[in-house]
Every structure is written in structure tokens, then in C-alpha cells.
Amino acid sequence: MTQDFFAKGADPVTPDNLGEAIQQAIEIEIATIPTYLYTYYSINRSPDQEAIKTSIIEKLVAKGRPPIEAEEEAIDLSAELMVFANKAGALIMSVAIEEMLHMALSSNLKQALAGMPDLVGKSPVFPATLAGHQPPFPINLAKLSQDQLITFLKIESPTDLPDPRMLKTINYTTIGKFYQMIIDCIQKNDLKYMDGPQLIEGKAFYAQNNIDTVYYDKKHRPHFTNMDDSGDLCHVHDKASAIKAIKCIVDQGEGFDDEGLIQPGDRVNCTALVPGDFDDPEKKELSHFEKFVQIYCTYNSLNDRFKNLDIGVTDMYDYFVVNVADNPKIEHYPANVVPVANLLNAVYTYIFVMIEDCYRQSGNTQWEIFMFGIHKSMIFILNSICGDIMSLKYTYEGKEYVVAPTFNDYKFDGKSRPKAQMIELFNKAVAVFPKIQYLGQRIHDLPDVPNVSSTNSF
């Protein structure tokens, strides 16, 4: 169990406990990935604009608005909502991708200074707390909402953050301050840097954007949410490269250290009308905190437009957010869903198994595991299953929900290799959900990587 370096009164980071501190950093980054992904998958990024427009027109006319005026209002509002849904999804996925980068940078740091990173079995059970924050605050697997966005802002804020719901300051330690403790230890001590395999720049391991991080504005112009110059993998081999890796993590999350930074309190109150912080000196890409501010403030503004129309729409997410449950559990799912949920969790866990193995391999073997395994699992398998299962519904405690990923660590039993277990899980899943038959070859083509952690953890 890693030491809680966030806790009040905790010992400073020293050469003796540096490995534990970096492992905690890895686990902090891992904890953010499923909550961002879950919210992303709750968004219908291309809702039916015609249906939205028609619904608004009917409601406005019923309230006495002239039909032509109602149509003009509905066209503009539905277009704004379409752009928002697409942009919100792109921004959230762009953050999730950079959290994967941060996990790799932290893992490089540990490999260089303290030995193998421990990745498998480290995803939290939700609801969870971010390791070490004082006081702790709940992190949920939840659909897009104002409350969920406030949670994202708490995770990424560079300073104490006023909660707009409570109108008082929430005192907690930021991720940036935690990483600064690690930087201080690295700067003050003559540490030994070990030469082990890392995920490094120049190998195409990290791609800033994919199809899910692009959105289109009202004029149908594409916008890429991550910039090439905002950060990349970094081979950690000395003091300078270690600090460079950490600064990339902090700058992407909280913003580049710039005297022009607008105070987070002003941002979450949506009183500052211009972007407050960026993650690069060229000011081309917003920090994670600012991306979530943009979504949060736009959400509030659009929601207010709906409320001011007085047409019975209390929250606009009904138009484009899928009705998934908070923190779903596999045991809540019916028998025809459980095998699919188990397969999804196994694929999710196998991504970490493969990443961990990349820190034992080098050269072509490492490259093949990452490119043919991790990229394929994340983009072509996990993404597909997460989308496909949302065509299923279930009832729990009298309420109907759409099936969603639970993002549990799957406990490979250690008796056979994880890939063989995934193939068996796929066969069980496709028997009850033939829609995913097309994924069979993709799963069979994955690299066959051992789960070293299974012999120790499960």
C-alpha cells in the first residue's frame, strides 16, 4: 500500500520513500481514466438535430410563440446543442488520452528511479476518492452533468476551488503540489537513474489526437483539441528529464505557469469570459482544468437558455446524454449482460497488463506490444464494446438504465495466460450478444502477454 503523501502531517518525499510517492502518482493518474471515459461514453455526440428542433418548436408553439419565431429559436438552439455535445465529448476524450500519457510518464519516472511500475489491479472501485486529497471528495462513474463536471474541476484545479454549489472554499491539496514534492526531492538529491525499458518519444507510442478528440463548430469546421507541442513521452534518464516529465503532467492538467493565469474561482463562476490557462507556451491548447471550465460554463449558459424559454426542460442533457446509472455494478446486470461486461473489464485490464509488460521488453517486442496490442485494444476493441453495450437496457431498483462499462479490474486467475481467458470470455459474451461477433478476430490477433501481477495479486 502506497503512503498517503497528501495527508496533513505526512513526511516529505525523500530518496527513501520516493518510489512509494511515484507509485501513488501512477495510481492517481490511473484513477482518473475510467471516470473520464465513463462520462465520455454517456454522451451521444451526434444526436438527432431534427428531432430536437421539432421538440423545441412544439413546446414553444404550445406556449404561444409564433411558429416562425419558434422555428428560428429552435434551429439556433438545436445547432448550439449539437456543437456542444460533440465538443464536450472531444474535450473529455482529449483529457483521457493525456491521462494515459501521464500514467506512462509517471511509470517512466518510477522505472528510472525505483524499479518496475505497478499498474495491474490499481483501478479503484467506484465510488472512489483520489488518493490523498484532504479532505477527500467522491469520484463517481457518472453521466455528463453539472455535478460530474464540478468533480472534474476539483481533480484538475491548480488551487483551492470555490464550489459554485456551496459558495464556500473547499480546502484540498492539488495534484500539482504533490508532484512538486517529488520535484523537490529530485532536485535536492543525487539520485541514481537506472537503465530499464521505458515508453519513450520518437516511437509513435503517443498520438495526441484520434477521431474521438475532434469536434466541428456550427460552420462544420474541424477543431483538434490536443496540440503537438503540448507534451509527449519523455525518456527519464537524469534530473533534467525527470523534471521535464513531471512538468508535462502538471502543465497539461493545471496549466502552463504563466502570470496571466485567471483565478480558478473566477473560472468556475463563469465570470471570466476568456480562456484562463493553457498547457503550452504557445497558448494553443487548453489545460485540462480549462477544458472542463469551457464545458461547464457552456453547459450552464445553454441550460439557462432552455430554462428561460419555460418549456418544461429542466436539464438539457435529456436531449443528448444517455441514461446510465452512477457507479454500475456487474451484479446489477441481468444474465444476458454479465458475460459482455466481464469481457469489457478483461479487455480494459489487459491494456494495463500489456503496458506493464512494455516495461520488461525493449526494441521490436515492446513496439509490437504497444502498437498491435494497446492501440488496438483501446481504439478498436474497448471503444467498440463500450459503444455496443449501450444498445442494451436493464432495470434496477425499479428504474430503467442503459448498460454501461463498470471499469472493474478483471482478476485473471493465473492458471492460464490472460489472452486465452479473454478468448473464452469472448465466446461466452458473443453467445448472449451476437452483435460483437465482429470483434473475434481482433481479440485473437492481440499479443499474448503474461500477467506477472496475477501471481502476486490474485
Residue 94 placed within a domain: yes
Instruction: Give the span between the Cα atoms of 371 and 204, in whole angstroms.
Output: 8
Average confidence (pLDDT) over 32-53: 95
Cell numbers standing for residue 395: 432495470
Q: Say whether both 150 and 279 belong to one domain.
A: yes
Residue 28 placed within a domain: yes
Average confidence (pLDDT) over 427-450: 94
Unique residue bearing C-alpha cell 499479443: 447
Residue 4 placed within a domain: no
Query: Torsion angle, CA of 52/56/58/59, rounded to 10 degrees?
Result: 140
Residue 12 placed within a domain: no
Residue 9 placed within a domain: no
| H or E element, residue 128 | strand 128-129
- Examine residue 127 and say whether the peptide bond preceding it is cis (omega within 30 degrees of 0): yes
Kindly report the pTM of this predicted structure: 0.90
Contact 388, 436 (CB under 8 A): yes
Residue 8 pLDDT class (50, 70, 90 cuts):
very low
What pLDDT does residue 408 have?
A: 93
Residue 167 in this model has a pLDDT that exceeds 60? no
Q: Say whether both 236 and 309 belong to one domain.
A: yes
What pLDDT does residue 135 have?
A: 67
Higher pLDDT pick, 204 / 340? 340
Signed CA dihedral, 450, 456, 457, 458: sign only:
positive
Structure confidence by residue, pLDDT tens digits, 212-242? 777 787 777 877 777 766 778 889 999 999 9
Q: Say whether both 305 and 188 belong to one domain.
A: yes
- For helices 49-62 and 67-113, what crossing angle results, to 10°? 130
Instruction: Give the span between the Cα atoms of 29 and 123, in whole angstroms.
Output: 10
Amino acid at 328: P
Residue 6 placed within a domain: no
Q: What's the domain range around 375?
A: 330-457
Unique residue bearing C-alpha cell 490472460: 418
Count of CA atoms in the C-beta half-sphere (13 A) of 165: 9
> How confident is the prediction for the chain on average, in pLDDT?
85
Q: Say whether both 122 and 30 belong to one domain.
A: yes
Q: Say whether both 61 and 38 belong to one domain.
A: yes
Amino acid at 35: T
Q: Say whether both 388 and 296 belong to one domain.
A: no
Q: What is the number of structural domains in the chain?
A: 2
Q: Say whether both 169 and 213 belong to one domain.
A: yes
User: Of the residues 265, 290, 319, which one is the last residue of a structural domain?
Assistant: 319
Q: Say whether both 60 and 200 belong to one domain.
A: yes
- Paired with 426 in beta bridges are none
What pLDDT does residue 344 have?
A: 96
Q: Say whether both 201 and 337 belong to one domain.
A: no
Residue 3 placed within a domain: no
User: What CATH number does the domain containing 313 carry?
Assistant: 1.20.1260.10
What pLDDT does residue 255 have?
A: 59
User: Of the residues 285, 319, 353, which one is the last residue of a structural domain?
Assistant: 319
The mean-pLDDT minimum among 58-72, 132-146, 392-406, 428-442 falls in 132-146
Tally of CB atoms within 10 A around 345: 21
User: Of the residues 319, 347, 380, which one is the last residue of a structural domain?
Assistant: 319
| Most confident by average pLDDT, 70-74, 152-156, 173-177, 270-274 | 70-74
Contact 451, 354 (CB under 8 A): no
Q: Say whether both 56 and 34 belong to one domain.
A: yes
Which of 365, 345, 346, 340 shows the shortest CA–CA distance to 434?
Answer: 340
Average confidence (pLDDT) over 317-346: 95
Q: Say whether both 285 and 377 belong to one domain.
A: no
Structure confidence by residue, pLDDT tens digits, 105-125? 999 999 999 999 999 999 999
Task: State the DSSP code for 324.
Answer: B
The mean-pLDDT minimum among 46-60, 132-146, 428-442 falls in 132-146
Instruction: Give the span between the Cα atoms of 151 and 156, in whole angstroms.
Output: 9
What pLDDT does residue 119 have?
A: 93
Residue 47 placed within a domain: yes
Which of 247, 214, 225, 268 shows the shortest CA–CA distance to 46?
Answer: 214
